[in-house]
Amino acid sequence: VNMKLTDVSLSIHVGPDGENTWPKKYPFCGGVFQSPIDFHKDILQYDSNLSPLEFIGYNVSSTDHFTLTNNGHSVKMHLSPTMHIRNLPFEYTASQLHLHWGNRNKSEGSEHTVSGKHFAAEMHIVHYNSEKYPDIAAAMDKANGLAVLAILLEIGPFNPSYEKIFRHFRNVKYKDQMVHIPGFNVQELLPDSPDEYYRYEGSLTTPPCYPSVLWTVFRHPVKISQEQASLKTTRVKPASVVRSLAVPHSKASEYLIYAKCISPIAVLSCKQILFSSCKAGTHRGQSRQTTTQSEMRIKCF
C-alpha cells in the first residue's frame, strides 16, 4: 500500500484525548506494528544471528557542518548523506536526528520503556532505505523504508559529546530558526556497547504512524547531566518545540523482540533474563484486532 506523503516533518497531535483520537484521522495509528513499546522479559528472545551494526561515514569532519532547525514542532539535526548503516537487510542512509524529552513538569521523556521504566530522554537517528528509495519522503510510508536507532538517555555525569548539539539550542528557540554546527563523530552519541540492542519492526511514533520502521533500540542508556537535561527545555521555547514527547507505548506484550548481546558475559545475562516468548496480538489502542502468529511480520535479521 502506497500513501502520498505531503510533509516529512512529523508533528505531535495533542488534545484532551491524546493519542486516542489519532486513528480517526490517521488509520495506521489504529493498526498493528505500532511504536513505541515496552521491552520486558515476556516478549524478548535472544538471537545470536543478529550482527553488529556497521557505521559508515559517521565521523564527520569539523570543517563540514550539520544543520540544526526548529520546524515549529521539534528541533532536529540534518545529517550528512555520506552517513550510512549496514548489516541490516538493506543499506540505510542517515537523514536526521532528534530528541524526545519531557517538559518542565515531566522529567521522564523517553518513548520506549524497559520493564515499564521511562528514561529522561530518547534520541532517534533516522535513516532511510537508500537501496530502494531516492529519499526519505519516498521511503517513509513503505515497507522496509526506515531504520531508526534509538538511544535512551538517563541522568548522570556531564556528556561533552551531547553538548556539541545542546549548546546550539539557544540559537533555534523559535520556529524556522536554523544554525550550522561543526561536524563531529556522531558515533560518540551511541552507548559504549552498541552491539547490544533490541530489534523489532514497528512504526513512526506519531501520526501518520506508518508501519515502516525497523527499530534498533540500544540496550544500554547513555548518561547526560541533569543540567543538560534541564537546558533542553529551557533553551527552546515550549510553544515552538514538542513539549511532552513521552508518547504512551503500545502493547509490547504482543511483540516478539530479538535481543542482541555480544560479550560472553552479556550473552549469559541475556539468556537468563531475556527468554523466548511469542505473543501475537494488537499494539497501540484497545480497538485493534488480534492477529495470528503467522501474520506477525516481526522477524530476526
Q: In Å, what is the CA distance from 32 to each residue of 128, 186, 247, 251, 284?
A: 21, 32, 16, 10, 7
* CA-based nearest residue to 300, from 125, 49, 103: 49
pTM of the entire structure? Answer: 0.78
Condensed to tens digits (0 to 9), the pLDDT of residues 226-236 reads: 999 886 655 56
Domain 32-295 has CATH 3.10.200.10: yes
Condensed to tens digits (0 to 9), the pLDDT of residues 31-46 reads: 888 999 999 888 888 8
- Domain ranges in the chain are 32-295
Condensed to tens digits (0 to 9), the pLDDT of residues 129-182 reads: 999 999 999 999 999 999 999 999 999 999 999 999 999 999 999 999 999 999
* CA-based nearest residue to 146, from 191, 194, 211: 211
Average pLDDT, the chain: 77
For residue 246, what pLDDT band results from cuts at 50, 70 and 90?
Answer: very low
> Of all residues in the chain, what percent carry a pLDDT higher than 90?
57
- Residue 28 in this model has a pLDDT that exceeds 50: yes
Give the active site residue among 13, 73, 100, 127: 73
168 is an active site residue: no
